[in-house]
Amino acid sequence: MSLRVLGVDPGLTRCGIGVLDSAGGRRATLVAAGVVRSVSEDAIDARLLAISRGLRAAIEEHAPDVVAVERVFSQNNTSTVMGTAQVSGIAILLAAERGIPIAMHTPSEVKAAVTGYGRADKKQIQTVLVKLLGLEAPPKPADAADAVAIALTQLWRGPGPVRLDSTGGARTSAQTRWAEAERAARRARESSTSRF
């Protein structure tokens, strides 16, 4: 059975998204890659709303089984960390509302999973993605490639969902029904498309 992962590289100006389907063993197929953008001159509420709408659309279009988000880590630039954390929270919330499990991976975990080296640079990651996924070129911009790498990390090394609440992340019955209906609809669409 195929597993679909939506990888999210959180960012306030450009939030990378990458969708992969497992293809058995250590193989994966790229479904989609891109970025959700916000206008840097806009107020923070408008920017977060734009990112939220884009992430919601991606989740609804691709109906992932898991959402993997890059874990926010400390940097010198506090405003960048705040924006990244806020976008990360949006991705987690949107998945939780739909009963989709969440996983988080640090940048070094992603680098190690994809390249075998925890200090690989972006170019090395992109080169490996091209080879592993059979692409002609890496996903662009770099934020999209990072999101694909996060999704691939989850497929290969996913430790499972992060606890979403004090009960261990248990879904409500409504969340479970929504998630099951979304996955059933996606599989039905894919099944009808593959017949032609």
* First-to-final CA distance of the chain: 21
Please answer whether residues 3 and 25 qualify as being in contact, where contact means their C-beta atoms are separated by less than 8 angstroms: no
Nearest to 12 by CA among 79, 74, 62: 79
Q: Which residue has the higher pLDDT, 25 or 120?
A: 120
Residue 150, Cβ density class (10 Å: 0-12 exposed, 13-18 middle, ≥19 buried)? buried
- Tell me whether residue 97 is one of the annotated catalytic residues: no
- Is the confidence at residue 168, as pLDDT, over 60? no
CA distance 81 to 76: 8
pLDDT of residue 172: 43
Which of 21, 41, 42, 70 is flagged as catalytic?
70
Lowest-confidence segment of 41-50, 109-118, 154-163, 173-182 by average pLDDT: 173-182
Q: Max alpha carbon distance in the chain (Å)?
A: 53
Nearest to 58 by CA among 5, 135, 1, 103: 5
Using pLDDT thresholds of 50, 70 and 90, give the confidence band for residue 44.
Answer: very high
Does 70 show up as a binding residue in the annotation?
yes
Summary mean pLDDT of the chain: 86
What is the DSSP secondary structure assignment for residue 194, as one 8-state letter?
H
pLDDT digits (tens, 9 = 90+) for 78-135: 777 888 999 999 999 999 999 999 999 999 999 999 999 888 999 999 999 999 999 9
If one counts every other C-beta atom within 10 angstroms of the C-beta of residue 178, the result is 16
Lowest-confidence segment of 16-20, 71-75, 93-97, 138-142 by average pLDDT: 71-75
Q: Residue 46 has which token pair?
A: 């408008």
Q: How many domains does the chain have?
A: 1
Which of 9, 21, 146, 182 is flagged as catalytic?
9
pTM of the model: 0.81
Cα separation values, 140 from 19, 20, 129, Å: 14, 15, 12
Domain of residue 67 covers: 4-194
Omega into 141 within 30° of 0, i.e. cis? Answer: yes
Q: Residue 164 has which token pair?
A: 């979403």
Which of 21, 143, 146, 182 is flagged as catalytic?
143
Using pLDDT thresholds of 50, 70 and 90, give the confidence band for residue 160.
Answer: very low
pLDDT of residue 179: 60
Of all residues in the chain, the percent with pLDDT exceeding 90 is: 67
Cα separation values, 130 from 28, 31, 134, 138, Å: 12, 14, 6, 6
Using pLDDT thresholds of 50, 70 and 90, give the confidence band for residue 174.
Answer: very low
pLDDT mean over 21-42: 93
- Is the confidence at residue 178, as pLDDT, over 50? yes
